[in-house]
Amino acid sequence: MSAVTPVNPKPFLQDLTGKSVYVKLKWGLEYKGYLVSTDSYMNLQLANTEEFQDGKSTGALGEVFIRSMKTHCCVWMRSRAREFDDSIIARTDGVRSSHNIEHLLHLAFLVAHAIGCLIGRILPRILLADRGIQPNAVKISTTSSGKPYIESPVLDPPLSYNVTHDSGYVAMAFESKSGNEGGKIGVDIMKTHIPAGETAASFTAALSDQLTQPELDYLALHVQDPDALTELLFKYWTMKEAYTKALGIGLGFNFQRVECRMESAHNREGCSVSVDGKPLLGWNFQGFHYVDGSDHYLGMVATASEDRGVVVSWTELSRCEWVEEVRLLDLLERALPVK
């Protein structure tokens, strides 16, 4: 009998990035797609994904996030096909096979993802360059959980930052702060988009294991108003995501440990946050809304604070004095070579 050689799963998954993979969940569902990224907790992001049940295809899902948990996986789908639709198909020059079109969609997604990652690398370097620091003096490293930080030069006070990108937008939050609160900053931005084939109610149900019972009860009050339900759901998600990214944990943190309470789906202020059943103290949550044509985005920045309480606010992006909006071409003009 031949010996079985154990394989370290983390580098194994990293080596599969950019390749076609099959992912089988313990209850039998399978997903075929291109592995876009993975992290130290073995959460997976797939593109151009197709779902299979009992060996039979149940349909194309687009972009899928498979969140690894101790007892199960949470699959979060977001279709990308509509973002490329006829503009991509029109460039196939008559080649209409589903394989070629899916390949084009996959390439378009990977290009968009790669651009977002590249801009995310450029932004902190431009920030440092604006402070007179030359690129060859900058070294950016990552923590054991994958959160980037500026290793050198050593700044006083330290400069902390966090980057996120979604659906064509990239955001970076940063601050200079010393003490125990320094370094704890997280940002998340999301397009409030319900995946194709889903309703606001069914999508909420799909994410129910990342929400607390009081959150689900409050969401249920808005089930007759899909727009309000969608906005509230994504408010919950961006707050939880920004907080866990500020801690440097991200997807490795069970979102049910964080509970947000809001008085209204459209409120601008008035929210409490608790973690593990205890009120969260010493944190600021600054959220913003942004409308681009028919698309609606929500963003959230979470930072540790010296205050004893928790402050949560929401406002329109155009009214945020602490936000600088930069177009890609303007950013590239300011960019410096990255080595």
Residue 339 has pLDDT above 60, yes or no: no
How many whole angstroms separate alpha carbon 251 and alpha carbon 44? 10
Compute the radius of gyration of the chain from its Cα atoms: 21
pLDDT band of 201, cuts 50, 70, 90: very high
Residue 231 has pLDDT above 90, yes or no: yes
Do the beta carbons of residue 269 and residue 310 sit within 8 Å? no
pLDDT in tens, 18-65: 777 888 876 567 888 878 877 766 778 887 787 777 777 777 776 777
Query: In terms of DSSP bridges, do strands 310-316 and 283-292 run parallel, antiparallel, or are they unpaired?
Result: parallel
Annotate 159-183 with b (16+ C-beta within 10 A) or e (fewer). Answer: bbbbbbbbbebbbbbbbebeeebeb
How many whole angstroms separate alpha carbon 158 and alpha carbon 128? 12
Residue 4 has pLDDT above 70, yes or no: no
Tokens of 328: 């890609």
pLDDT in tens, 78-107: 333 333 333 333 333 444 444 454 555 555
| Stretch among 52-61, 153-162, 222-231, 321-330 having the lowest mean pLDDT | 52-61
Residue 240 has pLDDT above 90, yes or no: yes
How many whole angstroms separate alpha carbon 327 and alpha carbon 261? 35
How many whole angstroms separate alpha carbon 165 and alpha carbon 117? 8
> Chain-wide mean pLDDT for the chain?
76
What count of Cα atoms within 13 Å lies in the side-chain half-sphere of residue 81? 17
